[in-house]
Chains A and B, each alone.
Chain A
Amino acid sequence: MQLREVLSWQTTEGRPLTLHGRTITPISQALRVSTPVGGFVWNRPVAVLVAEGDVVTRQPIVDVTRFALWAMGGGAVLSIVIAALVRRRVRPEEA
């Protein structure tokens, strides 16, 4: 079994929709994990492509909630690292 068969990260375009002279194509990104004893899928919206005549613009879809959660998680990890470093610096002085 190859790694590509087990783990894949794919970007897929959805069905285009034409409205008000614009063609809107949604794009999603999926992480697929497939093993003989189960599987996992994480699928998220990434952007929409807006085609107006010859001009194609990409409007990203920002997941504000996930961004906030990652920022808080990062802050918590950073505080733990700083606390550990301070503790290490204080200990030799005590000795």
Chain B
Amino acid sequence: MNDELQLIMEKIPSQREANALVERLFVVAEPGAVYSEPVTQGEYTVITAREVTIGLGFGFGGGGGTGPGEDEESAGEERASSVGAGYGTGGGGGGTAAGRPVAVIEIGPSGVRVEPIVDPTKISIALFTAAGSMGFMLLKMLQQMRGD
């Protein structure tokens, strides 16, 4: 039994490796992931600023067991003198990453200017969703007031 346990533990990735993977994820938390390298054109230099979101999750496990040998079980004879054993391990993971431009920093001879970047697609989708839910609630409210 101890040998089987040893075998299962060897098959499962160690927590140290998993922690190292999560640590690599935190490279995104550095300012270099948010601000681009400066681009210079003539007297002006531009740096873009973006929002970055990244997530990662994983899990792994294993198990094993022992039981009567196949022949003895099917024959229904006396208890097995030989013992069968099995074990298994498994794991899985998933992640997501997203980035969105937020602003442009313009550095020129006259000064530094921060220009926000507006995402009209995202705003319009949210606007329609919010307006739809608000309209639905208003309709329900009016029906309630009329006594329907």
Contacts and interface: CB of A to CB of B under 8 A. Distances in A.
Interface of A: 10, 12-15, 17, 19-20, 22, 24, 26-28, 30, 32, 34-45, 48, 50, 59-66, 68-69, 72-73, 75-76, 79-80, 83, 86-87, 90, 94
Nearest to A27: B31
Interface of B: 15, 18-19, 22, 25-26, 28-35, 38, 43, 45, 47, 49-59, 93, 100, 102-103, 105, 107-109, 111-112, 114, 116-119, 122-123, 126-127, 129-130, 133-134, 137-138, 140-141, 144-145, 147
A65 B137 contact: no
Nearest to A25: B31
A79 to B, nearest CB: 4
A13 B31 contact: yes
User: Which of A26, A27, A39, A64 has the most C-beta atoms of chain B within 10 angstroms of its own C-beta?
Assistant: A39
A26 B31 contact: yes
B145 A86 contact: yes
B118 A50 contact: no
Given A63-B51, A75-B134, A76-B133, A12 B56 contact: no
Q: Is the interface of B mostly helix, strand, loop or mixed?
A: mixed
B53 to A, nearest CB: 5
Contacts of A43: 28-30, 33-34, 51-53
B49 A68 contact: no
Given A50-B112, A79-B138, A86-B141, A61 B19 contact: no
Contacts of A68: 118, 123, 126
A66 B44 CA distance: 28
A45 B34 contact: yes
Nearest to A31: B29
Given A37-B57, A61-B102, A75-B134, A26 B34 contact: yes
Nearest to A60: B114
Contact of A41 (B28, B31, B38, B141): B28
B42 to A, nearest CB: 12
Contacts of B32: 14-15
